[in-house]
Amino acid sequence: MTRTRARTLRATRRDVAEHAGMVEQSPIGRTPAQPGTQRPAPARTAPQNSLPVVLVVGTLLVAAFVGLIWFAQRSNGLAPDLSEVLWALSAACLIMLLALGFILARNVITLVVERRRAVPFARFRAKLVAALVGMTLIPSVLVLIVGSEVIRSSAERWFSAPIDDVLTSAHTIARGVYQDQQAALEARARRLAVRLAEVDLGVTDEADIRRLVEALEVPAGAGVVDVYRVGVDATGSPTASRIVEVPAPFLPPGYSRASADALAASRASGSAETGAVEPLDDGAELLRAAAVIRRTPDGPVVGVVVASSALSGDLTQHTRRIEGAYEAYEQLRVLARPVAAVYLSFFLMTTLMILIAATWLGLYIAKRIGRPVQLLADGAQRIGTGQLDHRIEPESSDEFGAMVEAFNTMAEELSASQRTLVRSRGDLEHKTREAERRRRYIETILERIATGVVSIDAAGRLSTVNAAAARVLDIDATVVGQPAATVFERPDLAPLGSMLREARRGVLARTVKEVSLARDGRECHLAVAATSLPGEHELDGVVMVFDDVTPLFRAQRVAAWRDVARRLAHEIKNPLTPIQLCAERLRRNLSGAPAQAKALVDECTATIIGEVEALKGLVDEFSHFARLPSPKAVPADLNALLSDTLAIYDGLFEDITLQRAFQTGLPLVRIDPDQIQRVVVNLVDNAVAALEGKTGLTGAVTAQGVIRIETQLDATNGVARVTVSDNGPGISDVDREKLFLPYFSTKGRGSGLGLAIVRRIVIEHGGSIEVTDNAPSGTRFTVELPCANELSGERTGAAAVAKGHA
């Protein structure tokens, strides 16, 4: 009934769970997903714990108990030899004792093992078993001890002194009667033997012997005299043959001569047996006494005389009854211990049966009580370890069954909650992973972008400094976590620090400024935007974003200069031709003037025309700078180009040496040879100008000028590097920054467009140019040009762009 109800309940729950979609996920992977809530198969009850077996064994125990009582009641009729009974009882007691010990030991060991293994409910079960067994064991043992003492003392009281005296006296009297009779008979027999020794039994006539006996001893009452002659048989053994039988006038019924013959034969053979007792039919007894007949005291036995006398039936019965009572008393004294042992064994066996039954029943009750609780404890432990699908099969419909049902309901709800929790956890993990992915994405972008990003938290500590910011601001990434005020108190970062302070003060939600910072002697222009991050109650922090707009700034300046140059060239070049024409006309028209005037005119017009030509050249330079054509790049041998270009300087300078250090195996480069030739000439001219007796910042005069032109292949970046260095006075840091700007010149003459054009040509070739100090003195220009092959070209382009921006 209970199991049917449980199955129905299980099926219903499974249906509900399946419909609710609650069985798709397993809790944290500990238990595989299973279709619905599953209960364990009902635990098989041990045979000794099943109710039918208990009833059968109980019935057998009761039957054995009743049989024991029945047997004990009939123990008085047991045979005097109680050995077998005692043996059987001892064996039964030992077996039951062993059974009891086994039951107790097994359960004790089980309980100890369960306690050591920390099996749930083991302690309570041990206490319960101990209480039940103790409640049975202690009273039973006490009753056994008291009962044993009672039996033992009762056995001692069986033998009291008065009864002992009475029975001993009666026994003495009865024995005296027999002994008196026996003694009288023996005396008669001896007297007859003496008289019969006077005759020769071998030859004397039977009638004579009879007369002699009758004359000597006339049997009185129920008495008989038998005379035997002793001879030797063929084997040499003595024999006794009856010669005469002198019976009493009336013989007792049941009289037989056999015992007399046996007694005579025994005496004839030398036996010391002198008497015998022969029972008669009416309860009487016939006493016999035998005496041997010797002719001389030391002579051989020639005959035997047996005298018999009957005791009356009444006397015999009384004496035998007395003897029987005495013997029974004595036998009881002898068997007192085994008899008491039998009673004790009965008692012990009964006690053991009660103990076994009570112990077993106690253990059974303990299991019946403990098993549901143990199942609940075990189930709670399993639930605790995450096995939320564990269910307990109800084994009864009582309060324990209701408790089990409540436990299963709780487990079901826990399982549902766990599944919900797992789903939520999965969603949360998914969102966390997504957020992490987005964070990494943003971090990657922050690290890759050229825009610098710096953020500070509400406490004013730096929380974000991306790579671009670290590079532009020349700070280390380890500053993250440090107070922003400390980091930005550096003089070159002071403008940024003030912007951060303003943003933190919340003066403006967003502040955009253009800030110039001195970086390695160069001016770095930043477009900075500082934005405060408002929180719920106060400012969460400030984020500052800035871009290095220095290249843009330079480009704008170059564009402005180019525009100025173009306008200047246009505005200046137009009036130059009329001026020149006018000057030439004046000189031509005044050619006939006096010599002095003519000389003045010629001088002035020559000056005008010369200056106009100079202005034209200057304007052409300006125009050329403004309208520099795009390079027509073709693969070319850079070393050959340099050799051809430098050939024009051969023999021009006495104090200047041009050193060539070209790397062999240089690949072709894609260049416009004319423009690159112009670049090289420009750089060499600058170097020559620097070495032609000019004084540098140090004031030292260059004694022997050396201009070194090198080529080198940078295979890694796919560029060919041209280096023009001199050992001149060098360039100051301030001048170096403005070196590539148009119209900047340190020579005091010229247009100041040479290096600007050089830089433009190199950049339009996809290359780069930079100027550094030469060691130990002088200036070093390095031009990088991309190689002709595709791969190198790509790499070189990328490198050039990067350096160009820098």
Partner 1 sequence: MRQVLVCVAVWVVSVASPPVARAQRDVVVTTLTREDHVLVSLELRGAYTEEVRDTVASGLETTFSFDIELRQPVAFWLDRTVDRVSVSASVRYDGLIGRYRVTRVYGRVEQVQVVEEEAAVRQLLTTLERLPLFGTRDLETNGDYSVRVRVDRRPRTGWFRWPWDRAAALGRASFTFLP
Instruction: List residues binding partner 1 (CB under 8 A).
Output: 80-83, 86-87, 90-91, 94, 109, 112, 171, 174-175, 178-179, 182, 272-273, 275-277, 319-320, 323, 326-327, 330-331, 333-335, 337-338, 340-341, 344
Nearer to partner 1, 17 or 86 (CB): 86
Q: Which amino acid is at 505?
A: R
Q: Nearest approach, Cβ of 327 to partner 1 (angstroms)?
A: 4
How many other C-beta atoms can be found within 10 angstroms of the C-beta atom of residue 593?
A: 14
CB of 367 to partner 1, least distance (A): 22
CB 187 to partner 1: min, Å = 16
Residue placing its CB nearer to partner 1 in the complex, 59 or 237? 237
List of residues 6+ apart from 722 with CB closer than 8 A: 638, 642, 680, 709, 710, 711, 782, 783, 784, 785
Contact 405, 392 (CB under 8 A): no
CB of 77 to partner 1, least distance (A): 16
Report the distance separating Cα 542 and Cα 186, nearest Å: 150
Number of helices (H) and strands (E) in the chain: give both, helices first. Answer: 20, 17
Angle between the 638-646 and 673-691 helix axes, to the nearest 10 degrees?
50
Smallest distance, Å, CB 399 to partner 1? 36
In the bound state with partner 1, the residue whose beta carbon lies nearer, of 340 and 684, is 340
Nearer to partner 1, 34 or 168 (CB): 168
Least distance in Å: CB of 219 to partner 1? 21
Question: Which CB sits closer to partner 1, 272 or 775?
Answer: 272
Minimum distance, C-beta of residue 86 to partner 1, in the bound complex (Å): 5
CA 103 vs CA 43, 110, 355, 509, 599: distances in Å = 22, 10, 11, 88, 153
Question: Which tokens hold the place of 721?
Answer: 């590097």
Nearer to partner 1, 174 or 454 (CB): 174
Min CB(147)–partner 1 separation in Å: 15
Output the smallest distance, CB 322 to partner 1, in A. 9
Taking the complex as a whole, the smallest distance from the CB of residue 160 to partner 1 amounts, in Å, to: 17
Q: Nearer Cβ to partner 1, position 334 or 428? A: 334
Length of the chain: 806
The residue among 281 and 327 lying less far from partner 1, judged by its C-beta, is 327
Place of tokens 């007894």: 285
Q: What is the DSSP letter of 483?
A: B
Give the amino acid at 664.
T
Give the pair of three-digit tokens for residue 297. 């005291």
CA atoms of 288 and 219, how far apart (whole Å): 13
Give min distance, CB of 105 to partner 1, in A. Answer: 9
Instruction: Name the residue nearer to partner 1 (CB basis): 330 or 773.
Output: 330
Cα separation, 727 vs 658, whole angstroms: 11
Task: Return d(Cα 679, Cα 673) in angstroms, integer.
Answer: 10
Minimal distance, residue 340 CB to partner 1, in Å: 8
CA dihedral over 131, 135, 138, 141, signed as positive or negative? negative
Which is closer to partner 1, CB of 319 or CB of 350?
319
SS3 103: helix
Alpha-carbon distance 365 to 443, whole Å? 70
**Residue 671 burial (10 A CB sphere; 0-12, 13-18, 19+):** buried
167 is written with which tokens?
């029975």
Q: Which is nearer to partner 1, 178 or 622 (CB)?
A: 178
Structure tokens at 341: 């042992």
Contact between 24 and 31 (Cβ < 8 Å): no
Report, in Å, the least distance between residue 179 CB and partner 1.
7
DSSP for 617-678? HHHHHHHHHHTPPPP--EEE-HHHHHHHHHGGGTTT-SSEEEEEEPPTTPPPEEE-HHHHHH
Residue type, 593: A
Q: Is the Cβ of residue 338 or residue 667 nearer to partner 1 in the bound state?
A: 338
Other beta carbons within 10 angstroms of residue 617's beta carbon come to 11
Least Cα distance to 475 among 521, 517, 530, 529 occurs for 517
Distance CA 17, CA 102 (A): 49
Contact (CB, 8 A) for 103 and 359: yes
Burial class (CB in 10 A: 0-12, 13-18, 19+), 726: buried
Q: CA 508 to CA 327: how far, in whole Å?
A: 135
83 versus 663: smaller Cβ distance to partner 1: 83
Nearest CB to partner 1, comparing residues 175 and 736:
175
Our CB check for partner 1 shows the closer of 351 and 779 to be 351
Q: Is the peptide bond before 300 cis (omega within 30 degrees of 0)?
A: no
Cβ 396 to partner 1 shortest distance, Å: 34
Whole-number minimum distance, CB 329 to partner 1, in Å? 8
